[in-house]
Amino acid sequence: MTYQAPVKDMLFDMQELAGLEQVAQLPGFEEAGIETAQAVLDECAKFNEGVVAPLNFEGDRNPSYWKDGQVFTTPGFKDAFRQFSEGGWQGLQHPGDFGGQGLPKTIGAACVEMLNSANLSFALCPLLTDGAIEALLTAGTPEQQQTYIPKMISGEWTGTMNLTEPQAGSDLALVRTRAEPQGDGSYRIFGTKIFITYGEHDMAGNIVHLVLARVTGAPEGVKGISLFIVPKFMVKADGSLGERNDVQCVSIEHKLGIKASPTAVLQFGDKGGAVGYLVGQENRGLEYMFIMMNAARYAVGVQGIAVAERAYQKAVQYAKDRVQSRPVDGSLPGSAPIIHHPDVKRMLMTMRALTEGCRAMAITAAAAYDAAHAHPDAEVRKQNQAFYEFIVPLVKGYSTEMSLEVTSLGVQVHGGMGFIEETGAAQYYRDAKILTIYEGTTAIQANDLVGRKTARDGGATARAIARQIAATEAQLAERGSEAARAAHKRLKAAREAFEQVVDFIAGQAKADPNAAFAGSVPYLLLAGNLMAGWQMARALLVAEDKLAAGEDRAFMQAKVITARFYAEHILSRVPGQRDAIVDGAQSVTALALEAF
């Protein structure tokens, strides 16, 4: 077994936590009920388990390579991408007007998880194309949309995002790539972009580069950045491909993980200037690029959940097969599979609970996104947008940091064999590391959470969410089970700690910004832990009701136990995080710079 999609858990989250039936009542999503979700997920699982997952190990061992300006992907990738495109998977969440299927994010997110569990490196190509499609849907002209979007949805072409330059990483004010206006409305683009995922490859006929650049004479800083379409091959009036544009891949990076995904250095304008077309208005490029970034940030959070799931499945399989030592309780006379040992169970339960908690958080966030975009009531749209925007840095930040813990535990369960590459456990650990870095590091997500999502409204959105959590606590308090009592105790303590941190952050952001931002990442981890733990507590309530009705006993019993474990072993970390943030800010910044 390479990978088995957790379809049942995904459908549980959609139906019981995200309210899929309510999503299916939104205009445009009427066909997206549980039957559609089941059919789509089953088909998605079949494709990813059978076609994409078997290529994962091969991609790590035999990655993409560059030769004479061309990039050749891992054997099997090109054919798998063809099948992915023919199956309509790229267009799952995109509008029917352009050849997509127009499904809600609530369903699409689960399919994105499966693709990334199957093969993180492979999945990055569709992920970047999704971002390019979103940006053009938002800011492109009707002509640009008709020229590029249907071809990207069909998989004939792919898309990229070109932000970073050698001197401009996260600080885009330093972007130097320049755009010179031409008489015909086009521009000539000159500059170098680095870290361009699938910036060159052999899986599609054309690559649509979306490039940040400064028009000649534009203001300095972020206010002078514009966004351009720069296709690898020029597109003729009839939609067919013309001559090669002046954009070259001069090398690809050698990396710790995601080795099969080519990370390109692109040179624009070596032979007179790459032809580019302005997207939207001049000097508003950063605003449009953030549409891509926000779509990608959520997707990267889902990548964290995906690689954690894969690592968990691998560790369970090994723990059941590996015979070592007699059980400490003497339940077996001789050596037994290591899954009998309490500490191995603790590691596996930690992996399982973290993965399920983050999945539940991500899918409920997706439902909020759908309501924010499609609900007929403006006030409901506004509330859901505020909730979604608060949760996105948590989905991105907490789920990816969680994936490092889970994949590290996966190596640990394997013992010495986990350190051996042939086992495959180490690949998930290496692949997971990039997730906390690209599309904005954990610290950048945390700065966003502190500045834009908490301090800006004085903590109002955070406190509104805390009130919803308190309502779940009240439901838990009415239950008599040990699991509900345990969840109530830990959820209440975590929510109270969260509220104290929100008060601290909102109070200090202007008065003492160093104190507020010293605890920014711990605050993100605390908030992510709480949101995932809240969803697990809600899941516990549902599972207990289903058990009382005699429904699906094995699955529901496991859900109750996993939710209780989350409360007792993971939510219980929150009060200590609160102490570090509120009481420990000074010790972060006290040491003189010369003492380091």
Q: Which residues contact 61 (CB under 8 A, 6 or more apart)?
A: none
Separation CA 227–CA 215 (nearest Å): 10
Separation CA 355–CA 302 (nearest Å): 10
Instruction: Tokens for 179, please give them.
Output: 């755009």
With residues binned 3-state (H G I as helix, E B as strand, rest as coil), the percentages for the chain, rounded to 5, are 65, 10, 25
- Per the CB < 8 A criterion, the answer to whether 128 and 198 are in contact is yes
Backbone angles phi, psi at 265, to 5 degrees: -100, 120
Look at residues 251, 244, 215, 217 and name the one whose alpha carbon lies nearest to residue 230. Answer: 244
DSSP character string of 174-233? G---EEEE-TTS-EEEEEEEEEEETSS-SSSSEEEEEEEEEETTPPSGGGG-EEEEEESE
Residue 267 DSSP one-character state: E
Residues carrying an active site annotation: 439
DSSP character string of 422-490? GGSHHHHHHHHHGGGTTTS-HHHHHHHHHIIIIITTTTHHHHHHHHHHHHHHHHHHT--SHHHHHHHHH
Q: Which residues contact 507 (CB under 8 A, 6 or more apart)?
A: none
Identity at 225, one-letter amino acid code: I
- The DSSP bridge partners found for residue 263 are 197
